[in-house]
Structure 1
Amino acid sequence: MSEAATDAAPKRKKRDHRIDALRGIALLMMLADHAPQDVLNRFTLRNFGFADAAEIFVLLAGYASWLAYGRLILRGPPTGGWALGVERIVRRCWRLYLFQMVMLLVSVLTIRQWRHYSPVPVDFLEPELAHGHEWIWRVLSLQALPNNLNILPLYIVLLLAFPVLVFLWKLSPWLLAGASLALWGLVNSDPTLNLPNWLDPDGWYFNPFAWQFIFTLGMLAAIMAGKREGNLPGPLWARLIAGAYLVFAALQCFPYESWNLPSLRPLGDMPPADKSDLAIWRWTDALAILLLVQSSVTATRLSETRVGQALALLGRHSLEVFSFGTILDLFARLVMNSFGDGWIIQILVNVLGFAGVYGVAVWLDRHRRQAALMAGETRKEAREEAKKDRSAEIGDANP
């Protein structure tokens, strides 16, 4: 190949690891937050802002959904289009549903067995799930969503609604943003607008009619970043506002009492920002973080370090890491409840937890690479066979 041809060849776009790394951080924070006795949850996002890992997770779910399915739908046949996009969304939702069922069944059966040997507080398992079999149908039909097992059903509902969001966006991005904001506002004015939950008279803890807004914001952010090589527009004034808001949120939300420190809250003891209906304080917090990360060259460099790559590895396998982490959290809570939460238990639980989820991510990534390599070899063999067939046809045509 000539030097000119080499220069003219398009360069392969370098992967942006910031979103994966941020999602990896959110997964590790969830791992700590879901075990109340874990001392590490004193250092997670919920102590330094209105939002916590859940808002980051759903915001990035909307971002990733556009990259995975939105662009596929817009590409059109034969390599894309509505039919293929909807098919992949349904397959993904089915996978999410299976993981939800496995996590829930493992949780219920584990707690039922554990309490034969050691007392288990009632808040580990809703009373309706503790006895009998009526709960099985309720769980299978997503009518019953226990604590710590309610975010994947939210993701399923939002993902099933994703084609509607794409359709509205094609009509007008402002129509999509306005409709989504209006629905969020309606829910916050009337919290009874929710899906039913057999375990909670107030309905789903993550109200999907409210949480669709942060999912939509993630989708719109991905569209905007796609026009700028993966970067969100980050003018100085926007970054200053986002940074100032996060400083205010940290000062307002920090648990001074737990650290025996004098309060520095600018607004005093304000009412807690409602999580179920996604109070405005919460989604603005998550959006500010996304803006600062996706407009930062420094964040790009950090995501390419060894630590950043380890976090990105977790983020690329978020479903499996989250699900395995949820089961590990259950055992951590049971162990700490039965044997105490001293330093030896703390170190053991956290080392095994972090090593466990990272090991799962490494194994999955290696398996994915091997599958891609085998698929590449298969395609190469097919191309070689096709060349041989064409050569034979030419030979037959020219005896």
Structure 2
Amino acid sequence: MDKTPPLTLAAPTSAPDLVSDLASDHRPGQRRRDPRLDFFRGLGMFIIFVAHLPGNWGALWIPARFGFSDATEIFVFCSGMASAIAFGRVFEFIGWRMGTARILYRMWQVYWAHVCLFLVIASMLALANGSGWFTPDYVGELNLHYFFDNPAVNLPAFLTLTYVPNYFDILPMYIAILAMVPVVMGLRRIGGPGLAMAAVVAMWLVANFRLVELPAEPWSDRPWFFNPFAWQLCFFTGFAFMRGWLAPPPVSRPLMIAAAVVVVATVPFAYFRILEAVPALLEAARTILPVTDKTHFGILRYVHFLSLAYLAWIAAGEGGRRLLGSGAWGVCVRIVQKVGQQSLAVFLMSLVAAQAIAIARDTVSESGFVAQVLSNLLGFAILIATAYLVGWFKQAPWAKKHQKPSSGHRQVPLPAQPATAAAE
């Protein structure tokens, strides 16, 4: 039997071995990368781009069209796993106060990334609308007219996260979930992993009973599209598996069959062509909406995602050995992993690139087959280039010692920078 380490895409060693490894090194900057975590995060980044490119026929073939869960679950779950590496060890080996400080610093980074992302895209769309060169109403397509009509009210609301446009809703959710990490880690110190995970489940139940919502815009009662009190269940599931709080499921044929049945059985309730052809299934899909709801992370989304993750974990093999290789497959895997290693920068670029490519596509051509293919390939190229460029900058090449120092001068190398945080 394949003794694969903790679900899903977790660490290259078992949970106790991982904790032992972390305990031997308290420096947050030094950590081993898991090829599975990087690969599936990178895969999620490509799917997110495809889903956000306006008018993209490729969006008809992403996982969300064939099941209840989608790339959002990949993003949130893997973020939980990465946060367990980058932040969990700080809480456990340096202290709760320093762990909280580390979380606050990360929240600060993501907050300003969110602000800059919105300003860049909103400015780009306003310029496209105001130029008179384009027929589509790009500002209206993202429902941003309300923002531009009353910026005196909406700009402060945006900065306080009480105005969260739908296209820009993932990072605010991530910020809110990060704010919960010190609470969960504090409960873990008081009552162990059991108390921490009980609180996580309780928060999810509170959100699913609609007892807590966050306002998404000043002019209506619309709540955040992603309720962070619900989605934290997905985040802390990944977090708990990586920290060893949850035991990994066994690799067994009955579990694999059960997971495959869940994945296949959900297709008729999610694939739009089947729903259009069979009215009874469409009615059934509407009936089960409370348990497949994306805003409140319905339980069937959770079950579907864990089933997919279990199958993906087994497919990747022990330590991700099936992802390793040479030739074209190995090159593709390494590229996807590189994208996963720089997930925040790539995510930001994917949303900007999606809008910019759509505008360029509308300028030069109608949305025919060739234009669609080229748009997707161009987007993929931009994401890959972003990952490699950001990775190069993070290596601090200017701090490396040159092999040939200038004559007459003794070269003193700059101090090396710490390794990239796994939560990136």
TM-score (norm 2): 0.77
How far off is 1:91 after superposition? Answer: 1.6
Of the three residues 359, 367, 381, the one matched with 2:393 is 367
Residues of 2 paired with 1:226 and 1:371: CA distance? 40
- Deviation string 1:225-244 (CA, Å, 9 cap, x unpaired) is 998xxx76434333332222
Correspondence for 1:347: 373
- Deviation string 1:34-86 (CA, Å, 9 cap, x unpaired) is 124111111111012101111111111111111111122111xxxx3223322
Q: Residue type of the partner of 1:241?
A: A
Q: Does 1:113 align with 2:157?
A: no
Residues of 2 paired with 1:95 and 1:15: CA distance? 22
- Over the aligned positions, Cα root-mean-square deviation in angstroms equals 3.1
Residues of 2 paired with 1:33 and 1:340: CA distance? 19
Of the three residues 144, 162, 178, the one matched with 2:198 is 178
Q: Does 1:326 align with 2:351?
A: yes
- Relative to structure 1, the CA distance from residue 70 to residue 371 in structure 2 (aligned partners, 3 Å threshold; closer, same or farther) is farther
- Deviation string 1:276-332 (CA, Å, 9 cap, x unpaired) is 111111122222222233344538134322222111111110000000000011123
Q: Residue type of the partner of 1:108?
A: A
Residues of 1 paired with 2:244 and 2:281: CA distance? 34
| Secondary structure of 1:172's aligned partner | helix
Q: Residue type of the partner of 1:354?
A: F
Residues of 1 paired with 2:86 and 2:115: CA distance? 24
Residues of 1 paired with 2:398 and 2:63: CA distance? 36
Residues of 2 paired with 1:261 and 1:128: CA distance? 38
How far off is 1:32 after superposition? Answer: 0.6
Q: Does 1:133 align with 2:148?
A: no
Q: Residue type of the partner of 1:237?
A: P
Correspondence for 1:90: 104
Given that residues 36 and 316 in structure 2 are in contact (C-alpha distance below 8 angstroms), is that contact kept between their aligned partners in structure 1? no
Q: Residue type of the partner of 1:238?
A: L
- Relative to structure 1, the CA distance from residue 168 to residue 288 in structure 2 (aligned partners, 3 Å threshold; closer, same or farther) is farther
Given that residues 226 and 294 in structure 2 are in contact (C-alpha distance below 8 angstroms), is that contact kept between their aligned partners in structure 1? yes
Residues of 1 paired with 2:348 and 2:415: CA distance? 33
Percent same amino acid at aligned positions? Answer: 24
Q: Residue type of the partner of 2:113?
A: F
How far off is 1:186 after superposition? Answer: 2.2
| Secondary structure of 1:161's aligned partner | helix
Name the larger-Rg structure. Answer: 1
Q: Residue type of the partner of 1:27?
A: M
Given that residues 203 and 229 in structure 2 are in contact (C-alpha distance below 8 angstroms), is that contact kept between their aligned partners in structure 1? yes
- Relative to structure 1, the CA distance from residue 143 to residue 15 in structure 2 (aligned partners, 3 Å threshold; closer, same or farther) is closer
Of the three residues 87, 94, 117, the one matched with 1:103 is 117
- Relative to structure 1, the CA distance from residue 83 to residue 234 in structure 2 (aligned partners, 3 Å threshold; closer, same or farther) is same
How far off is 1:167 after superposition? Answer: 1.8
Of the three residues 78, 82, 93, the one matched with 1:60 is 78
Unmatched tracts of structure 1, length 5 or more: 1-9, 381-399
Correspondence for 1:395: none
Q: Does 1:313 align with 2:333?
A: no
Residues of 2 paired with 1:334 and 1:132: CA distance? 25
Of the three residues 275, 280, 296, the one matched with 1:277 is 296
- Relative to structure 1, the CA distance from residue 290 to residue 302 in structure 2 (aligned partners, 3 Å threshold; closer, same or farther) is same
In the TM superposition, 1:212-251 aligns within 5 A as 212-224=232-244, 233-251=250-268
Residues of 2 paired with 1:333 and 1:201: CA distance? 31
Residues of 1 paired with 2:246 and 2:337: CA distance? 19
Q: Residue type of the partner of 2:115?
A: M
Given that residues 80 and 239 in structure 2 are in contact (C-alpha distance below 8 angstroms), is that contact kept between their aligned partners in structure 1? yes
How far off is 1:206 after superposition? Answer: 0.4
How far off is 1:268 after superposition? Answer: 4.9
Residues of 1 paired with 2:46 and 2:114: CA distance? 19
Correspondence for 2:44: 26
Given that residues 114 and 120 in structure 1 are in contact (C-alpha distance below 8 angstroms), is that contact kept between their aligned partners in structure 2? no
Q: Residue type of the partner of 1:107?
A: I
Given that residues 399 and 415 in structure 2 are in contact (C-alpha distance below 8 angstroms), is that contact kept between their aligned partners in structure 1? no
| Secondary structure of 2:166's aligned partner | coil
| Secondary structure of 1:148's aligned partner | helix
| Secondary structure of 1:145's aligned partner | coil
| Secondary structure of 2:110's aligned partner | helix
Given that residues 39 and 333 in structure 2 are in contact (C-alpha distance below 8 angstroms), is that contact kept between their aligned partners in structure 1? yes
Correspondence for 1:254: 271
Q: Residue type of the partner of 2:201?
A: L
Of the three residues 19, 24, 35, the one matched with 2:53 is 35
| Matched length | 361
Correspondence for 2:227: 207
- Relative to structure 1, the CA distance from residue 326 to residue 13 in structure 2 (aligned partners, 3 Å threshold; closer, same or farther) is closer
Given that residues 24 and 313 in structure 1 are in contact (C-alpha distance below 8 angstroms), is that contact kept between their aligned partners in structure 2? yes
Q: Does 1:161 align with 2:187?
A: no
In the TM superposition, 1:63-74 aligns within 5 A as 63-74=81-92
- Relative to structure 1, the CA distance from residue 214 to residue 372 in structure 2 (aligned partners, 3 Å threshold; closer, same or farther) is farther
How far off is 1:15 after superposition? Answer: 4.2
